[in-house]
């Protein structure tokens, strides 16, 4: 059985200016930290965090290598340990830390201290010099990750680069290449050379390709070869399922949905076949050594995450979490940065426990969760079932949210699915930033709400996460240009508009208070007149 392939490849991406009208990209300071400036109709501006990267470069040649001079200088001065964690522990503020500090509007020293204590990471392989550094930690803006990647059944390399650029256009902070088909190395090379955001992979997928899918033939030697090659290419973080231990596997046998993580099921099968401990666990120090050399960060995989509401917070899941806590300290001993992957499918009332345990057991290493999905009954809408859980766990302290697209559980996401997933997760992350009282997060809400209330339609669109869709929806009822400046909208019509009425209420209220002021002054300014 062969899958049907679309008869023609998708059209090229529209230019950035079409997606974000009245916006321009700025680069702040010597480090050229990117941001997007939105100009409103009154001439005022609002700057927003920007992940879109340099535009207009030939994908065959890749992006400019902005980190090259920073890293060259470190080589020249004879550094032998290039890990951000190593520098941070020694009290050194790197250019990457400065860059993140400017991007987040915080003190560089704060960035350094958060990294030094393992509470934040800057995934930045020394060989991925194209990236604009970003930081993942619960005292910074909540980040989102988008997964792309072909499988044996679909997708071409050009489509993957397009998906990368499309995902970062809408706000993906990191991208994972989860390809499992042919040409893994070439696909990854294209993605890395064209990615201004950190790229993560799951190296066990490539290792498995090399043994023709025979799980039992995997071993540490092969795995180390694979990660050395991927690290040399510039991958910024690896998902490593080193916490799936032999003793955990039987705990999954009675689950409703067993093991749903690909990496988790591979390692579980390997453990059972050989009746030996997971070689990623026993060989963890060797893995750390390679990752330290390139400053690849760990994303310690949750191979036993629950795949259904029924399996949430069970012994298998929390047993693995204990192992991840131990591995976190082992990685830190090698100066390797760590984040911890989390579920999955979790009903709302069980989310807090995930966050609490992760912080405690994993020594406050950043948490990076997939959703969680808060119900299983809505395939086709899992970007929504999971945005609910993602917003909640984000507000509790999860540092990065792995997006879920509408096609989750059903098929491979196409371009529109990627956009839907990213936007849903930008919403979740921003809602979490607001809930955490993140400094400055509310400025965009306020600007948009003021525009809305003043009937500045163009500003309302341009301040939106997705200006094009906002405009399109408005135009579906009131397409004329005049409607963009009209002091009413299609919901109520011209006679009957609450916002218009409120303007009158304000006038009345102000006049009323002015009258009262005059009266008060006339009375001689005494606060309480004698009765």
What are the tokens at 242?
């080193």
d(CA 133, CA 87): 15
- The C-alpha angle with vertex 320 and arms to 307 and 111, in degrees rounded to 5, equals 100
Question: What's the rounded Cα separation, in Å, for the pair 405 and 414?
Answer: 9
Question: How far is the C-alpha of 122 from the C-alpha of 127, rounded, in Å?
Answer: 14
Q: 119 or 430: whose CB is closer to a second copy? A: 430
- As measured in angstroms, the least distance from the Cβ of 62 to a second copy is 29
Nearer to a second copy, 126 or 262 (CB): 262
Q: How many angstroms separate the CA atoms of 263 and 295, rounded?
A: 22
Residue 363 Cβ vs a second copy, minimum distance, rounded to whole Å: 26
- What the block records as the tokens of 464 is 């939106």
Smaller CB separation from a second copy, 63 or 260: 260
User: Considering the complex, what minimum distance in angstroms separates the CB of residue 507 from a second copy?
Assistant: 9
Q: How far is the CB of 419 from a second copy (least distance, A)?
A: 11
Tell me whether residue 100 or residue 448 sits nearer to a second copy (CB atom). 448
User: CA gyration radius for the chain?
Assistant: 26
Question: Do 121 and 88 touch, CB atoms closer than 8 A?
Answer: no
Question: 154 forms bridges with which residues in the sheet?
Answer: 151
Minimum CB–partner distance for residue 476 and a second copy (Å): 5
| Residue placing its CB nearer to a second copy in the complex, 92 or 153 | 153
The residue among 187 and 292 lying less far from a second copy, judged by its C-beta, is 187
Count CB-CB contacts under 10 A for residue 40: 18
Cβ closer to a second copy: 77 or 275? 275
Q: Which of 150, 174 has the CB closer to a second copy?
A: 150
What is the DSSP code (8-state) at residue 66? T
Q: What is the closest distance, in whole angstroms, from the C-beta atom of residue 264 to a second copy in the complex?
A: 7
Minimum distance between the CB of residue 516 and a second copy, rounded to whole angstroms?
9
Residue 240 vs 365, nearer CB to a second copy: 240
Instruction: Report how far residue 330's alpha carbon sits from residue 169's, in angstroms, rounded to the nearest whole number.
Output: 36
How many residues appear in the chain?
531
d(CA 152, CA 406): 21
CA pseudo-torsion sign 264, 141, 94, 164? positive
Alpha helix positions (H), 183-248: 184-193, 203-210, 220-233
Closest distance to a second copy from the beta carbon of 529 (Å): 18
Nearest to 347 by CA among 389, 393, 305: 389
Kindly state the smallest distance separating residue 49's Cβ from a second copy, in Å: 12
Q: How many angstroms separate the CA atoms of 206 and 39, rounded?
A: 46
């Amino acid at each position: 059985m062969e899958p049907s392939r679309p008869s023609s490849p998708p059209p090229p991406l529209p230019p950035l200016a079409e997606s974000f009208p009245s916006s321009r990209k700025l680069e702040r300071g010597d480090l050229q930290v990117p941001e997007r400036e939105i100009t409103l109709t009154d001439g005022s501006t609002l700057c927003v965090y920007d992940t879109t990267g340099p535009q207009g470069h030939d994908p065959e040649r890749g992006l400019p290598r902005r980190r090259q001079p920073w890293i060259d200088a470190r080589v020249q001065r004879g550094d032998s340990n290039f890990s951000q964690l190593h520098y941070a522990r020694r009290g050194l503020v790197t250019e990457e830390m400065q860059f993140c500090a400017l991007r987040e509007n915080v003190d560089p020293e704060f960035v350094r201290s958060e990294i030094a204590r393992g509470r934040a990471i800057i995934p930045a392989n020394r060989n991925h010099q194209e990236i604009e550094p970003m930081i993942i930690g619960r005292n910074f803006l909540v980040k989102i990750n988008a997964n792309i990647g072909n499988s044996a059944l679909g997708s071409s390399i050009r489509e993957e680069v397009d998906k990368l650029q499309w995902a970062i256009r809408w706000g993906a902070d990191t991208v994972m290449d989860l390809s499992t088909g042919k040409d893994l190395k070439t696909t990854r090379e294209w993605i890395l050379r064209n990615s201004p955001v950190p790229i993560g992979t799951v190296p066990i997928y490539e290792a498995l390709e090399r043994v023709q899918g025979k799980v039992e033939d995997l071993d540490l030697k092969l795995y180390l070869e694979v990660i050395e090659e991927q690290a040399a290419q510039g991958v910024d973080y690896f998902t490593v399922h080193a916490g799936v231990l032999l003793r955990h596997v039987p705990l999954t046998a009675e689950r409703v949905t067993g093991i749903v993580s690909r990496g988790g099921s591979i390692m579980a099968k390997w453990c059972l076949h050989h009746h030996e401990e997971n070689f990623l666990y026993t060989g963890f120090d060797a893995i750390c050594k390679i990752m330290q050399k390139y400053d690849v960060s760990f994303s310690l995989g949750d191979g036993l995450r629950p795949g259904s509401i029924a399996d949430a917070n069970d012994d298998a899941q929390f047993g693995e979490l204990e192992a991840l806590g131990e591995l976190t300290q082992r990685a830190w001993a090698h100066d390797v940065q760590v984040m911890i992957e989390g579920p999955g499918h979790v009903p709302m009332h069980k989310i807090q426990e995930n966050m609490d345990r992760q912080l405690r057991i994993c020594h406050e290493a950043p948490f990076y969760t997939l959703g969680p999905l808060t119900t299983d009954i809505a395939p086709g809408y899992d970007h929504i079932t999971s945005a609910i859980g993602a917003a909640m766990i984000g507000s509790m302290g999860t540092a990065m949210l792995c997006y879920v697209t509408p096609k989750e559980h059903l098929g491979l996401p196409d371009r529109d699915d990627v956009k839907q997933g990213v936007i849903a997760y930008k919403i979740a992350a921003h809602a979490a930033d607001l809930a955490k009282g993140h400094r400055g997060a509310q400025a965009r809400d306020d600007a948009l709400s003021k525009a809305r209330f003043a009937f500045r339609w163009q500003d309302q669109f341009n301040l939106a996460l997705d200006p094009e869709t906002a405009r399109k929806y408005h135009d579906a009822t009131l397409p004329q240009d005049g409607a963009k400046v009209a002091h009413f909208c299609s919901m109520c019509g011209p006679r009957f508009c609450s916002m218009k009425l409120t303007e009158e209420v304000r006038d009345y209220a102000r006049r009323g208070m002015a009258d009262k002021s005059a009266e008060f002054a006339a009375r001689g300014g005494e606060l309480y007149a004698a009765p």
